[in-house]
Amino acid sequence: METSGEDRFLNREIQWLEFNRRVLNEAIDDRNPLLERLRFMAIFTSNLDEFVMKRVGGLKRHVHFGLAQKSIDGLSAAEQLVAIRINIEPMLKDMASLYKKEVLPKLSEHNIHLKKWKDLNKAQQKQATDYYKKNIYPVLTPLVVDNALPFPFISNLSLSLAIKLEHMESGEIFFGRVKIPEVFPPWVEVEAETGQWCFVSLLQIISHNLQDLFPDMKIRQVMPFRITRNADLDRDEEGAEDLLEMITEELRQRRFAEPVRLEVGKNSDPWMVDLLKEELELGSEDVYEVGGLLDYGSLLPIADLPFPHLKFKPWDPQIPGRLQDTQSSMFDIIKRGDLLVHHPYESFPSSVERFIRTAIEDPKVLAIKMTLYRTNAKSRIISALIKAAESGKQVVCLVELKARFDEERNIYWAQQMEKAGIHVVYGVIGFKTHCKTALVLRQEGENIVPYCHIGTGNYNSTTAKLYTDLGLFTSDPKITEDVVQLFHFLTGRSFHRTFETLLVAPMNMKAQFLKMIEREQRNAKAKKPAQIIAKFNSLEDSEICEALYKASSAGVPVDLIVRGFCCLRPGVPGLSENIRVMSVVGRFLEHSRLFYFRAGKDDELDGEMYIGSADWMRRNLHGRVEVITPIFKRELKRRCLEVLNVALNDQRKAWDLNSDGSYQQRKSKKEALGSQEELMKRTLLNQQLFEDLDNS
């Protein structure tokens, strides 16, 4: 049976763009609050920027070096680049139309005015000019390209003005460039009538005050532009003597990496575009003319304005029922039974941070071990680990330096922890350590008892408010003994570790998943209960897809909740008619990974449930250290099944994947809650029930 080709698989890059199209739809959807729609516009832009840096950059290198490798659906790198552009251009037009025809008028209806320079009155123009002269003008660096000054370096994603200049005496034409400084807010507020908010963009202010920067020149034309540089750099970890030095050098190289995209404003000047193309070594296919803003991320300060009626109703994560017991130690609570927490519905500080804080304060705790993939700028967890090390506890922290776009922050924290005496390990050579695991070793009588947390998301208090993630706290030896082995593997670099319970990539995870899928196939043929439900971010591994196709052909119902791209084709007669793929895009980023297999059991709660850090992608299963843990307790399986079923029944924020690769949004005849809103509602209800029981 073939494992590639357009009839069996969907293209990864195009499917990722389909995901970003769903994000764009959240900005278009007028059922969302107005300022939240601005936030989705910013997310769309940020997503697309990262995609171009990583994926387009990588494909362009494939073309440059003549690599013949094809995608899972049989396309060459050059063919994929053409398809990517065909898919991106209509989305950019939709975004520009949304901004001009809907967002700006609706903001004005709510007394928020984003104005062009020409629409400001004389007093407002004077105020903006005064602000420019006092604050902006001294910071600017006007550059003119001539024989004495070569073409300037242009940093990645920075906003610039290209200026066509004519010398007043000689009439000679020059190219000028002014970088829009990032130290000032992108929108400057100017005075308006009472109750009105009026802003003009920093770019507009600078554009209309350029003459002071070029006094001997006539300003012939001004064109905003932005470039994107490649972030898909090759690395030789095996040959590196010092991983920290290698990543630091890679960050420097990324700053100077080759450009892969040029974005210019509407009605761009052909002479300036051609000059930029030549200097940046870009082709016409790399140039995008953008009708709206070049960076919708600039709208985030507007989205943060104090208009609560134009935003989602604030959500306050709840404290899980058992953790409302503040008199008992966290370890006593875990010892009474495994505990599952669901963020952001349930509080991260009251669960994960409390676990670490308790470990630090407990004199019986001997050691704390953690993995850190992405953390926040002011991490309370890292501060607590430093405090623990300073108090004499043994602390081991694996910091993944290769977490894309978080390398600098991780380097900083790694160095701070090393200074405090923490044993810092910089990942496993050749693999990214992506698992989310914490281990606490506690002296209890004559025994050392391990307690652990295994999660689907990062130890990051900021994203814990925005991403949906699950975490398991347990002292079950069947799990904790494997976690002890895991940390020995991470620090000792020995791949010859056996895991009795955990699924660990790159060792046993993929083989175990394939066995479980095959078991469902056998059970279906034997007329036993068979079912697969899985929720994760992306599906791309061809062997997993082929196994699911076989299971479907045997009659196994397969439900996949895939937030991002999915290379499997669902609903194809004779191949995947029993596979349904859907996606949820809402106010929170769906990030949890759950895997359910019926395992031939009559009672669904006797089936097998797993949670963890891995997606069904080749990079997760082969190129990363990932951990998936089973959920043993029936009440916790019930909660996980509830999460899955609520998502599957979403009639408000759900999209179904068609076999041709397109997505169709579900439309409810009556107003329905999205799955995230439904889970918030249920969390509050469960909280109230717990409080009522506690007070009875």
CATH of region 12-310: 3.30.1840.10
611 in Cβ contact with 594 (< 8 Å): yes
Centroid of chain to Cα 430: 23
Ramachandran sector of residue 354 (left: φ over 0; alpha: ψ -120 to 50; beta: rest): alpha
Q: What is the pLDDT of residue 679?
A: 98
Structure-block tokens of residue 285: 């296919």
Q: For residue 274, what are the contacts with CB-CB under 8 A and spacing of at least 6?
A: none
Homologous superfamily in CATH for domain 504-695 = Endonuclease Chain A (3.30.870.10)
Rounded to 5°, the CA angle 494-495-500 comes to 110
Which string of DSSP letters, residue by residue, matches 191-242? Answer: --STT-EEEEEHHHHHHTTGGGT-TTEEEEEEEEEEEEE-------TTT-S-
471 in Cβ contact with 453 (< 8 Å): yes
Which string of DSSP letters, residue by residue, matches 243-263? Answer: HHHHHHHHHHHHHTPPEEEEE
Q: In angstroms, rounded to a whole number, what is the distance separating the alpha carbons of residues 364 and 370?
A: 18
Q: What is the pLDDT of residue 426?
A: 86
Q: In angstroms, rounded to a whole number, what is the distance separating the alpha carbons of residues 38 and 34?
A: 7
Q: In angstroms, rounded to a whole number, what is the distance separating the alpha carbons of residues 74 and 7?
A: 10
Residues belonging to the active site = 434
β-strands 579-584, 663-665: how paired?
unpaired
Domains 321-498 and 504-695 fall in the same CATH topology: yes
- Ordered by start, the domain boundaries in the chain are 12-310, 321-498, 504-695
Q: In angstroms, rounded to a whole number, what is the distance separating the alpha carbons of residues 72 and 87?
A: 18
- What Cα–Cα distance (Å) separates residue 261 from each residue in 143, 226, 227, 271, 396? 22, 8, 6, 18, 42
Homologous superfamily in CATH for domain 321-498 = Endonuclease Chain A (3.30.870.10)
Q: In angstroms, rounded to a whole number, what is the distance separating the alpha carbons of residues 136 and 134?
A: 6
317 in Cβ contact with 343 (< 8 Å): yes
24 in Cβ contact with 88 (< 8 Å): no
β-strands 173-179, 143-145: how paired?
antiparallel
Q: Mean pLDDT of residues grouped by 10 in the chain (696 residues)?
A: 69 98 98 98 98 96 91 96 98 98 98 97 97 97 87 95 95 96 97 94 97 95 97 62 68 85 96 97 97 97 97 97 93 98 98 97 97 86 93 93 76 89 88 95 97 97 96 98 95 82 97 99 98 98 98 99 98 97 98 99 98 97 97 98 98 97 89 94 85 57
Amino acid identity of residue 545, one-letter, is C
Q: Find the helix or strand (DSSP H, E) in which 88 lies.
A: helix 77-97
Amino acid identity of residue 506, one-letter, is P
SS3 668: coil
Structure-block tokens of residue 269: 């000047």
Q: In angstroms, rounded to a whole number, what is the distance separating the alpha carbons of residues 26 and 40?
A: 6
Q: In angstroms, rounded to a whole number, what is the distance separating the alpha carbons of residues 180 and 207?
A: 10
Q: What is the pLDDT of residue 522?
A: 99
Phi and psi angles of residue 161, each rounded to the nearest 5 degrees, phi first:
-110, 125
